[in-house]
Amino acid sequence: MNITRSEIRKVLILYFKGQDFTEDQYTKKDKGSIDMMVSHLVNEFKLHLKNSQRTALKKLVSQEIALMKKKGLCRRVTWGRYRPIS
């Protein structure tokens, strides 16, 4: 897995712009959850990850989301769920 944080950020910015976050809000299928963002990145980059690699990617996504939140690119609505700034 050779994905940089800047690549992750670019994909997540596009993800936030292209998703309808009203569907399945606050359920396991919430599109603003870290797990759903990880799944999107796996699909986008066509990754085949082992559990340990998926855990590492989840950690990177969490760090990148925290940075994006500080930069005003997204906001947290509840613990572990984020939305685009509109």
Using the predicted structure, report yes or no on whether residue 26 has a pLDDT greater than 90.
no
Using the predicted structure, report yes or no on whether residue 86 has a pLDDT greater than 90.
no
Q: How far apart are CA 36 and CA 80, in angstroms?
A: 11
The Cα-based distances of 26 to 6, 7, 11, 67, 84 in angstroms read 28, 27, 22, 22, 15
The Cα-based distances of 20 to 12, 15, 17 in angstroms read 14, 10, 9
Q: Which pTM value belongs to this model?
A: 0.89
More confident residue, 23 or 37: 37
pLDDT for residue 58: 96
Strand partners, 74: 84
